[in-house]
Structures are given as structure tokens and as C-alpha cells.
């Protein structure tokens, strides 16, 4: 490897105008850097051999290039990764003594940290826990690898090893000489400081098979102008409000004042097994005093008590605009509206004006931004309540009103001229997709109805919540601004690639330390779950080499063992 190690403040992805350094090259500004490497990536994408690399995601050249920020992040195998490691790595010197005692720390530490919570994922290790491992085993400037990076917490941890305040928050002390000390006691019980590491960022190499994961990781690990983001995101919310605010208007119970809907609760409709008349699940099963769903409840028509399993789910025909066919979907009716008037919250049952408004919205054309991808055969289609939900395409995950809200949000974020800001706006907007889908359950015992979906599974409840974009995103906008202030002043460089870990092209002896949290058996079906977000970006995981146990794909425990062996 190159004996010259990049200094800590070289090659930082810049948010400021002026010359920038990148992998030993000088560019007039960051836009010129981006243009140069995008052209190189564009040429690579034309090569069938490059596209045949195992784990290459499904997506057009245009969509892959739009997401990518080479050489640091590509939504496909990163052809610049070898150069990245060569530039930042240092030649192995056998005369330098390396010795570390075995180390273990609580990997759940930091799960309430704002940065950790800034974007959800099926599973991840908090960056604060990872920092302890990196500080123990590495030196400043070392190259750290995470081959199953998920949302890129290892990259954040590597970066924040250069932050005095973050290291102090872990309970360590940083001396004036940049040596990091841990408080301990000597044999006599006297307090002393034990040197354990040195202050300084490490470089991260991050890989994941999922474009959704690496997109999140790239946004976590690339600097962004937080003030510009906050202003742009607020303008998007304001513009969408001006465009479709009428869809979230409701009449107050005084019959005169107009309120703004926070969320609407929709209920599946069943037929009584005894009298065959309709039962609106939420109206009969919800205990309004406790907020709990009763296990058993009487039919409002005949009085016979039963539970949901004894009832028959009703369906109704609906015209699928995207496909030009009639489909049969579960019958759902609005059962409850939570709304605000002059800052105070109220609840009511939908009135005739609310029902007429929903009919008007349902009659509107499906927005062009809504993905209509057909779902492949997958395990997630066979679990929970997915089969009775009759969901076969991505647009079936959304009721009529959320399609217009999400389309308006996505359209405006995607049209941003600044590529870095655009990706961070999409990083923000995409966090409403699960929460505005039919996967969002109504959980009345919780104070907030934001993102009340079951983690790690597609599950469509009998009672779902349809939140407004402001209800779900206003608080998220404030929290993102606060969370990313912690990283905005730190140099942030990671090399991120999207591919099968078993087939990438790094030379031996080019990594100083590995931290990774690999997939575990059939615990989580990553590619199944990620297709909901990836369909919006139009770059989809190639699941053929996914290292999990998958009965639908015929991937056994022995297959998983071999796939994991290949990766390691």
C-alpha cells in the first residue's frame, strides 16, 4: 500500500466553495470533484463486466448516478474503493509493535442518542458502543471496515473518535497531548488514569448489499449544511401544505371552525359469523377508557360475543389506476379523526363532510411519483396479515390521501439542484414512507401515532393510522437538525460501496480493524423489507447472494453457512 497516509483534514467532502483535494487530485471546487468522478462511474456502468459483479443492484444508470457521490459513495459496487484504501491506508511496518488486550463492551450503549435515532433501520449497533472498540483497537488514521454496515454507524463512530466532547461523553478523559485515558484503580485502590488510545478520526470502509442501507449510511457519513437543510425541508412542508392542505381539513364539533387533521384512524370491516351484518372493528373492539383493543366484544346487531378470528374480513372492489384492472382489497372505513384547532387537540367521528372529502381524494389520479413495482415472491408476503391484505404491488401499501402527500414531498425533495442537499432531503422524506403506509398501526395506548409499525416485518393491522405529513415530519425535522450538529464540525470521510461482500476487490492486508454486525440466520429479511424504500429510489437490492436463511428462495441453513463463510 501507499506509505503516505492522508492527513485528517484532507479530502473532506466540502460544503464550502473553493479548491478541494480528493484521492490525491485537486479540483476547483466540490462540484468539479463530483462531476469528474460521476463521469468515471458513468463509464464504468457501461461495462457489462462491471454490472455483472455479484450483488450489483437492480437500477438504471441514471438512478444509480443520481444517488451516488463518488468516490466516497456509490449505489453500486464502488470502483474507487481500492484507490480510497490506498490513499488513506499506511504501509504495514513489522517493526511497529501492536498489542491489545481482549475487549468487550455493552453494544446496546447509546440507543437513546439523537444521532442513533435520526433514521430507523431493522437493526443496528449504536455508534457510541462501536467507538469504544475502535478506540481500544486502533490508532488515529487507521482504516476500519464494516462489511455489513447497515446505516453506517461504524463510519460515524470512526469519525467521532476525533471529537473531544463525544469521547468525554463516554466517560474518558482527553489530555492536552491528545492521549485518551480511562479512570481505574491501582492494586491499593487508589484512583489512576490509564492511557487507552489517542484522539483522532479513523477512516471507514462501509459495505452493504442493500442500496437503502448504503444510502442511509452515506447521508450519515457525509457533511451537510444543516441550516440549508432545515430551511429547504421547512419550505417543502409549507409548499405541500399549500398544495394539499385541503385534504387534511375537517370541521370542528362546533360546526363552524375548521381544524387541521393530525391523523385519521381507519378500521377494517368484518361480518358477524352469527347474523352476517357488518362490524367496524375499531368501533366495537376499542375500549375508549383504557385505549386497549378488547380480545372479545359483542356484535352491535345481534349481541353475540366473539373475537376477531371468528369474524369474516370483508373485501370491496377497487379500480387499480396503475394497472388498469379491478382488484379486491380489504374494506376499510374511517373511524376516528384526531385534529387540532388553535393548537389544541380534539377527537371526533368522521362526519358527512369528512366522508365526501375522502371520496374526492380517492377519485384523483394516482401521482406519477408513487412506485408501482410488483412485489416478487418473498417471505414477507407470507407472514402476519400480508396475505389477507391482498397487497401485490408497492402502491397498494398506501391509501389515497397519503399517496398525494408523499408524492408532493418526494417531488420537491428530488428536484433540489444541490445533489448533497437533495439526498439529505430524501433521507428526511423517506422516513415518512413506512409511517404513512398501511403498515402503520393505530396504537391508542401510545401518546404519539408516529411510525407505529412493527419492526422487521410487513404487518397490516385491522386498525391503521393515516397521519398528516406535518404530524409525522415536523418533529423529525427538529430532531435531525439537533442530531447532526454533533457531526457537522468533524471531518467525515468514508468509502461506501453497495455489493456482495464476498466479491469485492480490496487487496489483502489493507484494513487495520474490522467491526461488523452480520445478519443472523432468518432473523431479518433485509431485501424483502428494504424494497418498500428502495422502490422510491428505483435502485433495488439483488437478493441472490443475501446471507440469510430464506425458505421462499430455498436458502437453507447450510447455504447461509456457506454465504457467511465466503463473506468472512
3-class DSSP string for 148-185: CCCCCHHHHHHHHCCCHHHHHHCCCEECCCCEEEEEEE
pLDDT for res 8: 32
Cα separation, 423 vs 12, whole angstroms: 18
Determine the average pLDDT of the residues in 111-126: 86
DSSP for 370-418, please give it.
S--PBPPS-GGGSSTTHHHHT--BGGGGS-HHHHHHHHHHHHHHHT-SS
What is the full DSSP assignment across 266-335?
EEEEEE-TTT--EEEHHHHHB-TTT-PBPS-EE-TTT--EE-GGGSEE-EEEEEETTTTEEEEEE-EEEE
| Contacts of residue 193, Cβ cutoff 8 Å, sequence gap at least 6 | 173, 181, 182, 183, 184
The pLDDT of 69-85, averaged and rounded, is 95
Adjacent-strand bridge partners of 208: 498
Q: What is the pLDDT of residue 477?
A: 93
Mean pLDDT on 228-248: 97
Report the percent of the chain where pLDDT is more than 90: 73
Mean residue pLDDT of the chain comes to 91
pLDDT tens for each residue of 390-426: 999 999 999 999 999 999 999 999 999 999 999 999 9
Which pLDDT belongs to residue 13? 54
For 290, phi then psi, to 5°, come to -100, -20
DSSP classification of residue 468: -
**pLDDT at residue number 386:** 84
By mean pLDDT, which of 112-121, 141-150, 291-300, 426-435 is the weakest? 112-121
**How far is the C-alpha of 216 from the C-alpha of 95, rounded, in Å?**
40
How far apart CA 283 and CA 468 sit, in angstroms, is 22
Q: How crowded is residue 174: how many other Cβ atoms within 10 Å of its Cβ?
A: 17
CB-count burial class (<10 Å; 0-12, 13-18, 19+) for 209:
buried
* Spatial separation of the C-alpha atoms in residues 1 and 4, rounded to whole Å: 9
Q: Which residues contact 170 (CB under 8 A, 6 or more apart)?
A: 128, 131, 132
Mean pLDDT of 340-352: 95
Looking from the CA of 437 toward its CB, the CA atoms found within 13 Å total 22
Backbone angles phi, psi at 542, to 5 degrees: -90, 105
The β-bridge partners of 261 are 339
Q: What is the pLDDT of residue 266?
A: 97
For the record, the C-alpha cell of 345 comes out as 387537540
Among candidate residues 165, 104, 163, 112, the one with its CA nearest the CA of residue 137: 104
Question: Crossing angle of helices 211-221/419-429, nearest 10°?
Answer: 120
Count of Cβ atoms closer than 10 Å to residue 559 Cβ: 15
Rounded to 5 degrees, what angle do the CA atoms 426, 33, 146 make? 60
Mean pLDDT of 139-152: 94
Burial state string for 217-228 with b = 16 or more CB within 10 A and e = fewer than 16: bbbbbbbbbbeb
- Residue 290 — pLDDT band, cuts 50, 70, 90? confident
Stretch 234-256: mean pLDDT: 96
Look-up: residue for cell 485502590? 189
How do residues 463-486 score in pLDDT, each as one tens digit?
A: 999 999 999 999 999 999 888 876
Taking the C-alpha atoms of residue 442 and residue 336, their distance in angstroms, rounded to an integer, is 10
- Which of 39-43, 110-114, 246-250, 339-343 comes out lowest in average pLDDT? 110-114
Print the SS3 string covering 49-108.
HHHCCCCCCECCHHHHHHHCECCCECCCCCCCHHHHHHHHCCCCCCCCCCCCCCCCCCCC
3-state secondary structure of 313: strand
Has residue 489 got a pLDDT over 80? no
pLDDT in tens, 511-552: 999 999 999 888 899 999 999 999 999 999 999 999 999 999
Q: What pLDDT is attached to residue 6?
A: 33
Q: What pTM value is reported for the model?
A: 0.92
The three cell numbers of residue 106 are 455493552
Contact 370, 403 (CB under 8 A): yes
Instruction: Give how far the C-alpha of residue 4 lies from the chain's centroid of Cα atoms, to the nearest Å.
Output: 36
* Contact assessment for residue 453 and residue 121, using Cβ atoms and an 8 Å cutoff: no
Task: Give the span between the Cα atoms of 455 and 386, in whole angstroms.
Answer: 15
For residue 50 the three cell numbers come to 462491471
- Cell readout for 444 is 391508542
Instruction: Express each pLDDT in 53-66 by its tens digit.
Output: 999 999 999 999 99
pLDDT of residue 15: 53
pLDDT at 1 over 50: no
Q: Any residues with CB less than 8 A from the CB of 31 and at least 6 apart, and which? A: none
User: Is the pLDDT reported for residue 335 higher than 90?
Assistant: yes
Closest to 134 (Cα-Cα) out of 112, 113, 114, 107:
107
The pLDDT tens digits of the residues spanning 175-187 come to 999 999 988 877 7
Amino acid at each position: 500500500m501507499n506509505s503516505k497516509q492522508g492527513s485528517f483534514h484532507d479530502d473532506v467532502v466540502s460544503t464550502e466553495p473553493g479548491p478541494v483535494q480528493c484521492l490525491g487530485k485537486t479540483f476547483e471546487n466540490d462540484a468539479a470533484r463530483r462531476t469528474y468522478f460521476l463521469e468515471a462511474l458513468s463509464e464504468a456502468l457501461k461495462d457489462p463486466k462491471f454490472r455483472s459483479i455479484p450483488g450489483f443492484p437492480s437500477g438504471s444508470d441514471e438512478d444509480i448516478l443520481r444517488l451516488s457521490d463518488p468516490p466516497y459513495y456509490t449505489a453500486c459496487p464502488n470502483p474507487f474503493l481500492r484507490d480510497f484504501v490506498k490513499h488513506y491506508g499506511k504501509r504495514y511496518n513489522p517493526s511497529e509493535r501492536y498489542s491489545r488486550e481482549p475487549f468487550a463492551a455493552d453494544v446496546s450503549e447509546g440507543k437513546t442518542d439523537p444521532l442513533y435515532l435520526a433514521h430507523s433501520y431493522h437493526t443496528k449497533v449504536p455508534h457510541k458502543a462501536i467507538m469504544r472498540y475502535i478506540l481500544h483497537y486502533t490508532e488515529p488514521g487507521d482504516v476500519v471496515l464494516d462489511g455489513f454496515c447497515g446505516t453506517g454507524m461504524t463510519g460515524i463512530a470512526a469519525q467521532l473518535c476525533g471529537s473531544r466532547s463525544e469521547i468525554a461523553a463516554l466517560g474518558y478523559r482527553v489530555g492536552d497531548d491528545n492521549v485518551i485515558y480511562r479512570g481505574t484503580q491501582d492494586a491499593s485502590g487508589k484512583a489512576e488514569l490509564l492511557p487507552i488510545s489517542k484522539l483522532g478520526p479513523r477512516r471507514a470502509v462501509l459495505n452493504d448489499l442493500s442500496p437503502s442501507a448504503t444510502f442511509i449510511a452515506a447521508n450519515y457519513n457525509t457533511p451537510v449544511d444543516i441550516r440549508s437543510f432545515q430551511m429547504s425541508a421547512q419550505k417543502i412542508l409549507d409548499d405541500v401544505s399549500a398544495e394539499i392542505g385541503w385534504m387534511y381539513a375537517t370541521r370542528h364539533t362546533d360546526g363552524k371552525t375548521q381544524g387541521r387533521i393530525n391523523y385519521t384512524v381507519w378500521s377494517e370491516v368484518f361480518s358477524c359469523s352469527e347474523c352476517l351484518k357488518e362490524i367496524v372493528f375499531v368501533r366495537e373492539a376499542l375500549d375508549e377508557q383504557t385505549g386497549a383493543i378488547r380480545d372479545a366484544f359483542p356484535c352491535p346487531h345481534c349481541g353475540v360475543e366473539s373475537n376477531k378470528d371468528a369474524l369474516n374480513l370483508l373485501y370491496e372492489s377497487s379500480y387499480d389506476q396503475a394497472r388498469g384492472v379491478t382488484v379486491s382489497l380489504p374494506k376499510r372505513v374511517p373511524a376516528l379523526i384526531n385534529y387540532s384547532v388553535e393548537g389544541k387537540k380534539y377527537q371526533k367521528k368522521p362526519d358527512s363532510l369528512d366522508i365526501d372529502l375522502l371520496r374526492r381524494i380517492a377519485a384523483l389520479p394516482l401521482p406519477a411519483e408513487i412506485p408501482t413495482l410488483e412485489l416478487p415472491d418473498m417471505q414477507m408476503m407470507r407472514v402476519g396479515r400480508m396475505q389477507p391484505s391482498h397487497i401485490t404491488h408497492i402502491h397498494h401499501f398506501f391509501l389515497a390521501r397519503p399517496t398525494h402527500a408523499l408524492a408532493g414531498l418526494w417531488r420537491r425533495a428530488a428536484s433540489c439542484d444541490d445533489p448533497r442537499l437533495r439526498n439529505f432531503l430524501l433521507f428526511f422524506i423517506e422516513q415518512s414512507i413506512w409511517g404513512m403506509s398501511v403498515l402503520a398501526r393505530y396504537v391508542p395506548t401510545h401518546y404519539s401515532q408516529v411510525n407505529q409499525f412493527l419492526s422487521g416485518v410487513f404487518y397490516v393491522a385491522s386498525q391503521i393510522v393515516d397521519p398528516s405529513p406535518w404530524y409525522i415530519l415536523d418533529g423529525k425535522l427538529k430532531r435531525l437538525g439537533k442530531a447532526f450538529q454533533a457531526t457537522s464540525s468533524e471531518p467525515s470521510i468514508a468509502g461506501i460501496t453497495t455489493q456482495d461482500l464476498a466479491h469485492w476487490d480490496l487487496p489483502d492486508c489493507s484494513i487495520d480493524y474490522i467491526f461488523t454486525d452480520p445478519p443472523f440466520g432468518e432473523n431479518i429479511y433485509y431485501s424483502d423489507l428494504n424494497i418498500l424504500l428502495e422502490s422510491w429510489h428505483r435502485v433495488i437490492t439483488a437478493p441472490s447472494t443475501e446471507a440469510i436463511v430464506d425458505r421462499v428462495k430455498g436458502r437453507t441453513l447450510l447455504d447461509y453457512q456457506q454465504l457467511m463463510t465466503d463473506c468472512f
